[in-house]
Amino acid sequence: MTDIRAAPGTIYSVRYGDQCLEFSWRPRALAGSKARIHVYPNGQVEVETPVSACLTDAKKALLKRARWVTRHLREIEERNAAVLERQYVSGETVFYMGRRYTLKVIRSDAEQHVKMLRGQLRVTTHDTGPLAVKALLVGWYRGRAEEVFARRLSSVSAPLSWVDKTPPWAMREMKTQWGSCSPRGTILLNPHLVKTPTRCMDYVILHELCHLKEHNHSNEFYRLLKRNMPDWEDVKARLDGMSELYLNA
């Protein structure tokens, strides 16, 4: 009986003790390479295998790392439990470029704006309801992200031998990714990324720029990434560890 191949969008599962581990499965266009397991900040598990692998191979790869996967899933659950749903009221903590700021909501019939001042992110508005305050914050973050991402893209891409000029880019909110690179070479960045430290932004940008040369997560891709950011794994771990807080806005 022929084993099935990966189908986009399908969720598979495997038993591990008394647990049922659900995962998505994605082939990687590099024959002979090892399987890679990804646990994303939202708790999604992805198994990435060579194109020649079948579902049985994907399940075996996940089971080999099941202890590591379940530990990360448990840590995500614990972090999520500690993250309170935002009310968009004065006193809440918000982030910008890795720094914590205190949200201050100020009612004013005369003006409406968002400003950083003395450790506060001040939202001045005639409508202090949570939806209105959130909308103003989202707009402010997108405006700052457009400026910051343009600078970081230029800075990170400048020393890369395979990048002749800053590639086209855009912003898109994504639930499981900080960035992506389209087949045509357009870099997509999650606007929430502007809340993270500059080093984390640079890691995500470099990751996507490496895809301009290596279009999959091959061994050569990771060698390229490490050559240009030797500590990328530490930076990624730092970003993953705070993702729930950065995305909770």
The two tokens of residue 186 are 């357009």
Residue of 29, 28, 47, 27 whose CA lies nearest to 37:
47
- For residues 65 and 164, membership in a common domain is answered with no
173-208 exposure pattern, b = at least 16 Cβ within 10 A, e = fewer = ebeeebbbbeeeeebbbbbbbbbbbeebbbbbbbbb
230-244 exposure pattern, b = at least 16 Cβ within 10 A, e = fewer = eebeebbebbbebbb
Q: Say what the pLDDT of residue 7 is.
A: 62
Identify the three-state secondary structure at position 161: coil
- For residues 32 and 104, membership in a common domain is answered with no
- For residues 192 and 114, membership in a common domain is answered with yes
Range of the domain at 55: 11-82
Q: What is the pLDDT of residues 189-241, one digit of tens each?
A: 999 999 999 999 999 999 999 999 998 888 899 999 999 999 998 999 889 87
240 in any annotated domain = yes
6 in any annotated domain = no
> Cα 232–79–22 angle (5° rounding)?
80
Mean pLDDT of 24-47: 79
35 in any annotated domain = yes
- For residues 107 and 72, membership in a common domain is answered with no
Q: Say what the pLDDT of residue 1 is.
A: 41
3 in any annotated domain = no
Q: Say what the pLDDT of residue 244 is.
A: 76
Of all helices (H) and strands (E), which one includes residue 151?
A: helix 130-157
Mean pLDDT of 76-94: 78
pLDDT grade, residue 83 (50/70/90)? low
The residues near 237 (Cβ < 8 Å, ≥ 6 apart) are none
Mean pLDDT of 122-139: 95
- For residues 156 and 192, membership in a common domain is answered with yes
pLDDT grade, residue 8 (50/70/90)? low
* Residue of higher predicted confidence among 27 and 202: 202
CA distance 211 to 220: 11
Q: Say what the pLDDT of residue 76 is.
A: 77
Domain closes at, from 82, 108, 140: 82
Q: Say what the pLDDT of residue 3 is.
A: 60
Domain closes at, from 39, 57, 82: 82
Mean pLDDT of 98-124: 93
Q: Exposed/middle/buried for 67, CB within 10 Å: 0-12, 13-18, 19+?
A: exposed
109 in any annotated domain = yes
Mean pLDDT of 70-82: 77
Q: What is the mean pLDDT of the chain?
A: 88
Q: What is the pLDDT of residues 151-203, one digit of tens each?
A: 999 999 999 999 998 899 999 988 778 999 988 899 999 999 999 999 999 99
1 in any annotated domain = no
CATH number at residue 105: 3.30.2010.10
- For residues 98 and 65, membership in a common domain is answered with no
